[in-house]
C-alpha cells in the first residue's frame, strides 16, 4: 500500500489518500507513492512491496517502459533477447560478446566457432557443474587474440549480468 499525507489508515484501499500498490509498481513500507519497476522488468500483480518483486522481462521479449505489466513486444528480427531486455534491438558490449557462449550447451559449442571468430570472443570462460562442484571450464577455444578472458565465475557474472541480447549470429 501507499499512503499520502492525511491518511486515516495504514493500508488504505481505493481512497483519495492511498491504495493498494498497482501492478507494475512496488510500494516499500511507509511509501507515499508507488515506485515503478525499472525498464527491462515487469510486474503483473498488485500489492508488491519490494523491487525484488519485479521480474525480468521474459526471454525473446523486451520491456521498454518503467512500470510495465506486460512485455512491450517481441525482439526485432535479426536480434535475440535474453531475460531483462529493454530494447527490441539489444546490442552486446564488446566485453559481453563471450556471454553468448554461456547460453549454448557444451555439446553444441563447436557449431558456433564461426560466431566466436566473427566477434573475436572466447568460450574458455564457461561455468559448468561437474561432479557436484562448480568449476571454470578452461577448454581452450581461444579464438580471441585480445587476451581479455574472463577467468573466474565472479568475473563472468559481473560482465554477463548486464547482457540482454545481441544481433543474431550469421
All structural domains of the chain with their residue ranges? 94-167
Average pLDDT over residues 56-79: 95
Between residues 167 and 130, which one has the greater pLDDT?
167
In order of 2, 15, 21, the CA distances from 8 in angstroms are 12, 10, 17
**Highest mean pLDDT of the ranges 4-13, 38-47, 120-129:** 38-47
Distance of CA 52 to the CA centre of its chain: 13
> What is the structure's pLDDT at 15?
77
| d(C-alpha 137, C-alpha 126), whole Å | 5
**Nine-digit cell string for 156:** 563472468
Q: Looking at the whole model, is its pTM more than 0.75?
A: no
CB neighbours of 15 closer than 8 A, spacing ≥ 6?
A: 7, 8, 9
Average pLDDT, the chain: 74
133-153, pLDDT tens digit by residue?
333 333 323 333 334 445 566
Mapping DSSP to helix (H, G, I), strand (E, B) and coil, where does residue 74 land? strand
Amino acid at each position: 500500500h501507499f499512503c499520502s499525507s492525511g491518511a486515516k489508515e495504514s493500508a488504505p484501499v481505493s481512497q483519495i489518500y492511498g491504495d493498494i500498490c498497482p501492478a507494475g509498481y512496488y510500494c516499500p513500507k511507509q511509501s507515499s507513492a508507488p515506485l515503478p519497476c525499472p525498464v527491462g522488468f515487469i510486474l503483473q500483480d498488485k500489492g508488491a512491496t519490494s523491487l525484488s518483486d519485479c521480474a525480468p522481462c521474459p526471454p525473446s521479449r523486451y520491456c521498454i517502459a518503467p512500470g510495465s505489466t506486460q512485455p512491450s513486444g517481441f525482439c526485432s528480427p535479426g536480434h535475440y533477447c535474453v531475460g531483462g531486455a529493454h530494447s527490441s534491438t539489444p546490442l552486446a558490449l564488446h566485453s559481453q560478446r563471450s556471454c553468448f557462449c554461456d547460453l549454448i550447451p557444451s555439446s553444441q559449442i563447436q557449431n558456433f566457432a564461426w560466431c566466436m571468430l566473427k566477434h573475436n570472443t572466447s568460450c574458455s570462460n564457461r561455468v559448468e557443474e561437474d561432479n557436484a562442484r562448480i568449476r571454470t571450464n578452461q577448454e581452450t577455444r581461444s579464438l580471441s587474440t585480445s587476451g581479455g578472458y574472463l577467468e573466474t565465475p565472479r568475473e563472468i557474472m559481473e560482465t554477463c549480468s548486464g547482457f540482454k541480447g545481441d544481433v543474431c549470429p550469421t
